Structures are given as structure tokens and as C-alpha cells.
Amino acid sequence: MRMSRLLVRTLREAPADAEVASHRLLVRAGYIRRLASGVYTFLPLGLRVLHRIEAIVREELDAAGCQELLLPALHPIELWEQSGRAALFGSDALPAMTVDARGGTFVLGPTHEEVVTVTVGAEVDSYRQLPVTVYQIQVKFRDEARPRFGLLRTRELVMCDAYSFDTDKAAMQRSYRAVFDAYLRIFGRLGLEVTPVEADSGAIGGDVNHEFMVPSAVGEDRFVRCGACGYAANIEAARRRVEVPAGAPPVEDPGGSPVEHHTPDRAEIADVAAFFADQGVTTADLLKGLAVVDADGDPALLLLAGDREALLPAGWRLFDADDFARRPSMVKGYLGPGGQQLHGVRVVADEGVRRPGPWITGANRVGHHLSGVVLGRDFTVDAWGSYVAVEAGDACPRCGEPLELVRSVEAGHTFQLGYKYSAVMAGATFVDEAGGEQPFSMGCYGMGVSRLLAVLAEEHHDDAGLQWPPAVAPYRVYLAALGASRSPEVTEVADRLYGELAAEGIEVLYDDRDVSPGVKFNDADLIGLPDVVVVGAKGLARGTVEWRERRSGVERELPLDQVVAEISAA
């Protein structure tokens, strides 16, 4: 492609809304353009990178036995009502969008579990046709409340989503492993360091699921990992080890009883710690009480150490104003398991509360706290669990060694769905070997293809511009002719090299524009192709051209008759 014909306009300045390097460089280098918040046009250079990524995805999924199809982006809302997920629309878990048309209300597909389940269910009748794994690469729509970071969080994205259908759980797990391994090969070919982590299933559902996380300084996700044993989990699913002496009470009874303190306007943990600061009290000595509604809709008092942040299980929520109004015994900001009695409220506690006390807690009266509160003497716990976000330095749940916290970007997510959709969607069954009708055991697998373009740009750049790995670069070689308008020889040699490289199957972006050498050099760095070849009058006088590797910056002169062979061998 001659650059004089390419639809590209490089920019010297980054857009004002660009917060991260990938966003700045993809816009400046002419790969993408913003149409609206979270909505981007892929210009020819950007689309070529997107197609390179898609080709790798297709090759690995095809090799794993998957079949490509293309499902509609418009889904009748009745399918989502049938699965029960329509009730989640508009939530953080499922920011879906709908459109009203003459044929009814349709969902702009954020994901395709419902549609693929009824599609495959209509085509597969017998266990003899299983296993089946299908995938598509298609535009998805997410009503993101706060799109940001360019392609990293958008309202419209290109995704590869795959779905496996099997006879039972054991067969589904084999299919899951096959796609899981294909994902690892895909990321390996893209040159990305990916850590598969245990994760929360969210609105997709299912039991076992993994996120594929790329460590990144600009990542909005976090995961924990153990350098000793390899344990890794998303921050929402991560667990820690809490050592509690087996068979012993959590704390010795020190005698005495709790002491009540008047603590006006001390509803926040930090304010309570400050009140007791002269006694050497820190937030870790406080017992934080949260009023919650559990997944069954029942109220509960959740206890955790005051220096930890709560992590509520799926389906749980904090009390709102109406909840507090209905239960006046639960006093916001002064909750605790002792003091004024809480009626009909279950007490649940994080494992960290098992550690020796005594604790300082709310007294269930406005403006009052208790000190000297002891587990087993002054309060009991109905159920224990893990209810706090894991922090760096916590003990690994497997080996006990300290955990580290890693900022990251999610590049893919896989789920073992089981029967979540096949059990409720009409026609999602097959006839088994015994002649009975059974639901499919399913898995699903998502990978943000357009997000990967941004992830790659984030990982492969320097201050001057992009540095694409050869596997995804839009072209292999940036060929620049310097002073061609003043030198017929430069034009002749550059044209000949362009043809010879193309004849060898090497894709070339030929900068034949009548602009200054400085502009060409800047654009070569900004666009970021793996190899830069410069044809100039001074080099031709020596029978050479300049070759530079974009990533390493290594430069050397190549004899004219060796250019094609050297680049082909690189």
C-alpha cells in the first residue's frame, strides 16, 4: 500500500480525553477515531491489526475442533425473559441495551448464551452429534456507564465468544479444557503475558470460571497471586488463609464485661478509632458491623475487622434507607453484636473476626460504642465465611505464603455453565444413549478482540509511538523514500524494492509522500511497523539502504541486492 493513497492522517497532539498510552497512540497514528463516547471507527490500519488478531483466534479455535458461525446481534427480548436475565438489564452486572422496533423489543446483544442455546438445540437431536463447540467473532453492545481508556472500555466492541455443548459435566470439562488451552496458545502467539485466575461468574453464571489477566499499570482490574505455589484469583473471588487454633475458643475470657462509651457523631470507623486513640486503638481493633440483605432477602449483621473492606457475596446488598426504617433496632453507624439486642437478625462474620479480641463495637444506640467485647462471651456468630477483599501480604489459602496484588486488564473469560441455560431455554435438550431427554452441559468462552488491540498497544510502545509484534502488525515493512521528488534514482529503487518485497509476500507500507524526511521518520515511529527501510540518495551512492528494527532500534546498512533476503530471513 502506498501511503499517498492510504486513508490515514497522523496527529501531532493526542486527544484531550486520552488518559492512557494505547488510546493516545492509536488515535495519533491513525488507527482509530472516536465517533461518540465509547464508540470508535477502525480506520484501515486499525482494521488490519484487528483482522490479524482475529486470524490467530480463528486458527487456534479451529485447531481445537471449534466451528465458526454468526449469530444475530438483535435478540427478541423474550429469550432473555425466558432465561431470567432480562431482570438484570441496566445493572453493573449486565449493562444491556434494547431497541423497540416494529417486530417488538429487541436486545442489542451484549453476549449470546440465550441465542446460541436455542440455535444449537434446534440442530442437535442426539448424543451422537456431541460434543459441539461453536464460536463467532462479532460486534457486542454494552451500555457502559463510564467508557474510558479508548478501546479498553467501550459501548461497542468486537468479541470472540464460543460455546460448548456436551452430554454431561465430565464431557463439558474436557471441552472447557480444550478451549482453555487454545486461549493460552492465542495469547502466547500475541506475545502477551497472561495469568488465568479464578473469578466470579457475575451475570453469565455457572460454577467454575477463569479470567485471563494481563498485568498492566493502567488496568482497572486486580488479581492476587502467590509466587510460591502459583495460586491466582480475581480480587472478587480471592480468598486468604486465617489461622485459628483448632479445637480452642477464639479468645480467652478476660473476665469483666463490656464498657459503654458516649461517642457522639462517631459513625465512621476512622472517627471511632480517633476517639480511642489515646488507648493505642487502631481501626484493626474495631469490629465493623454492616447491615446487609442476603441472597434470600433476609436481613443479617455482617461483622469484619475495622481495617478491612467488605466483599459481599453475589446477590447480597447493603441496607438502604427503607431497610433501616423497617428495622429501627439496627442503628446505622453504631451497629454491633452486643449492646441493645437485635431481633430476628442473623449474625455472620468474616474469618478474621476469630482472632483474639477484645473488640470495640457499636452499641446499637445512636452515639454509643462498647469496648471490651469478647467473642464467645458477649456475642456469638451464626455463620462464618470470607467476606473481605484480599490485600497484599495476606496468607495464601493454599500454602500460607504472602500474596501479592497485581493491577491488570481482563483479556478473556471462560465459564463452566453447566445447565444454567439449557435447563430453562425451550428445546435445549438431546436424546441420550438410553433414549431419555437430557439438557446440554454447556461452557462459554469470551475474548475481547478489539480490547486486545488496545492491550497490545499498551504493552508494545515507547515514547515515540507503537511497536507492533510482527504477528499483528498491519504491515511488516515501512518503506520510506527520501527526497524522491528531487532524485529519480531514489524513486526507481524504492519502487523496485516495493515490488520485490511484495512478490515475496512481505506486506509493505510505502511512504511515497512528498513530505520532509522528519515527517516520514516521525510517522514511521508513530505507526510502529516492525521494520523500517529508508531509501536515500546518500545511501544509494554507497549501494545501500538503511534498515532499522523498530522495537530494538538496531540500525545497519544493507546492500541493495540483499534487502529482500535479509528481511525475509528476519
Q: Return the domain boundaries, the chain.
A: 21-238+405-457, 259-384, 475-569
Q: Which CATH superfamily is domain 259-384 in?
A: YbaK/aminoacyl-tRNA synthetase-associated domain (3.90.960.10)
**What is the predicted pLDDT for the residue at 248?**
39
pLDDT band, very low/low/confident/very high, at 247 (cuts 50, 70, 90): very low
Higher-scoring residue by pLDDT: 279, 166: 166
Q: Biggest alpha carbon distance in the chain?
A: 100
37-95 pLDDT, tens digit per residue, is: 999 999 999 999 999 999 999 999 999 999 999 999 999 999 999 999 999 888 877 88
Q: What is the average pLDDT across 467-475?
A: 97
Whether 252 shows a pLDDT value over 90: the answer reads no
SS3 of 7-65: the string is CCCCCCCCCCCCCCHHHHHHHHCCCEEEEECCEEEECHHHHHHHHHHHHHHHHHHHHCC
475-569 to CATH, choices 3.40.50.800, 3.30.390.50, 3.30.365.10, 3.40.1280.10: 3.40.50.800
Top mean-pLDDT range of 84-88, 176-180, 248-252: 176-180
Q: 373: which residues sit within 8 A by CB, 6+ positions away?
A: 258, 287, 336, 337, 338, 357, 358, 359, 360, 361, 379
pLDDT band, very low/low/confident/very high, at 244 (cuts 50, 70, 90): low
Whether 355 shows a pLDDT value over 80: the answer reads no
Sign of CA dihedral 319, 322, 327, 330: positive
Mean pLDDT estimate for the chain:
92
Distance between CA 244 and CA 163 in Å, rounded? 43
Q: What is the average pLDDT across 549-560?
A: 94
487-518 pLDDT, tens digit per residue, is: 899 999 999 999 999 999 999 999 999 999 99
Q: What is the pTM of this model?
A: 0.85
Whether 206 shows a pLDDT value over 90: the answer reads no
Distance between CA 7 and CA 5 in Å, rounded? 7
Whether 457 shows a pLDDT value over 90: the answer reads yes
Percentage of residues in the chain having pLDDT higher than 70:
96
pLDDT band, very low/low/confident/very high, at 391 (cuts 50, 70, 90): very high
**What is the predicted pLDDT for the residue at 254?**
53
User: Which grid cell is 299?
Assistant: 436481613
Bond preceding residue 131 cis, omega within 30 of 0: yes
Q: What is the average pLDDT across 404-428?
A: 94
Least confidently predicted of 142-146, 181-185, 472-476: 142-146
pLDDT band, very low/low/confident/very high, at 250 (cuts 50, 70, 90): very low
Whether 424 shows a pLDDT value over 50: the answer reads yes
For residue 210, what is the enclosing H or E element?
strand 209-215
SS3 of 343-384: the string is CCCEEEEEHHHHCCCCEEEECCCCCEEEEEECECCCECCCEE
Whether 372 shows a pLDDT value over 50: the answer reads yes
CATH of domain 21-238+405-457: 3.30.930.10
- Three-state secondary structure call for residue 561: helix
pLDDT band, very low/low/confident/very high, at 249 (cuts 50, 70, 90): very low
Higher-scoring residue by pLDDT: 207, 558: 558
Whether 246 shows a pLDDT value over 60: the answer reads no
CA dist 72 to 107, 112, 165, 448, Å?
Answer: 10, 9, 19, 18
- The alpha carbon of residue 257 and the mean position of all alpha carbons in its chain are separated, in whole angstroms, by 49
